[in-house]
Amino acid sequence: MSSDTDLHLIQSELCEGILTIRINRPEKKNALNLAMYRALSEGLRLAGDNDAVRVVVIAGTDGCFTSGNDLADFMAVPPTGGDSPVMTFLQAISTFRKPIVAAVTGSAVGVGVTMLLHCDLVYAVADAVFQLPFVNLGLCPEAGSTLLFPRLMGHQRAAELLLLGEPFSAEQACRVGLVNEVCPAGELVALVGRKALQLAARPAAAVRLTKELLKRDFAAELENTIAVEGEYFIARLESPEAAEALQAFMEKRKPDFNRFS
């Protein structure tokens, strides 16, 4: 559950035209609660409006990018519609006009992976582990990922990641086109900093226009897919399978789906 004390869980720092937004809740593997989604959306809104911001970097903490949506929130305060904090964040990141660079450390799970589809450059440490466990949780994919994953890597590879929901390596993420480059853990900050500075030095209007053109042919379809997936996702959260999966996570046991047809 979110509270006012959650405000420090998203930290922002502007330096040389680069706004770094850091997800900072390591004790919960940077799981995103409602306040954090709101802070991320607000951070992007302010970054979009501020001419001093030329590039946004999204990062986690040492050993974790984000473990995705807070599963306790899914049980206590599930999203109910298009104006929920998670949907607002997805709208904000998927339509953000300036370049976004992601720095992936450690675990990237659920929306921690699907948000990468809306970043422009993605760098990961060699021991980062990615996972899309939506089906395992009785849910369905979100963030436009049922459109963007097959587009990026083809149906079979997307189906393998989304239907089996097994962890996959940074090297595999690079092979399927989700990640630009993999580096040793100690080199990520320098690599991301270098790329972000390069982007910040380019003519900003040309960068924005190129990003817009790169996404132009699927922008409307993406918006629609995010909305449709969101409706199914919200409905699935009320399913008995999801209830069992979430309860099992809380009780630190394996879920038992045998009684569901």
Site residues for ligand COA per CB under 6 A:
28-29, 31, 67-72, 107, 109-110, 133-134, 137
Cβ-based neighbours of 94, under 8 Å, separated by 6 or more: 118, 143, 144, 222, 223, 226
E-assigned strand segments in the chain: 10-15, 18-23, 55-59, 64-66, 100-104, 107-109, 121-125, 129-131, 168-169, 181-183
CA separation for the pair 139, 129 (Å, rounded): 21
Phi then psi for residue 53, to 5 deg, are -95, 120
Token match 């399978």: residue?
241
Q: Minimum CB separation from ligand COA for residue 32, in Å?
A: 8
Smallest gap, in angstroms, from Cβ of residue 52 to ligand COA? Answer: 33
Q: Tell me how crowded residue 247 is: count the other CB atoms within 10 A of its CB.
A: 13
Tokens 């399927």 locate to: 176
User: Looking at beta carbons only, is 18 or 173 nearer to ligand COA?
Assistant: 173
Between 40 and 47, CB nearer to ligand COA: 40
Angle between helices 145-153 and 219-236 (to 10 degrees): 120
d(CA 60, CA 155): 29
In terms of CB distance, is 121 or 249 closer to ligand COA?
Answer: 249
Nearest approach in angstroms of CB 49 to ligand COA is 30
Instruction: Write down the least CB distance from residue 74 to ligand COA, Å.
Output: 8
In three-state secondary structure terms, 43 is helix
| Residue 28 or 175 with smaller CB distance to ligand COA | 28
Question: Given the complex with ligand COA, which of 36 and 204 has the nearer CB atom?
Answer: 36
Q: How far is the CB of 246 from ligand COA (least distance, A)?
A: 9
Minimum distance from CB of 238 to ligand COA (Å)? Answer: 15
Chain position whose Cβ is nearest to ligand COA: 110
Q: In 10 A of CB 255, how many CB atoms? A: 18
Residue whose CB is less far from ligand COA, 29 or 195: 29
User: Minimum distance between the CB of residue 176 and ligand COA, rounded to whole angstroms?
Assistant: 19
Q: How far apart are CA 2 and CA 32, in angstroms?
A: 10
72 versus 189: smaller Cβ distance to ligand COA: 72
Phi and psi for 116 in degrees, rounded to 5? -65, -25
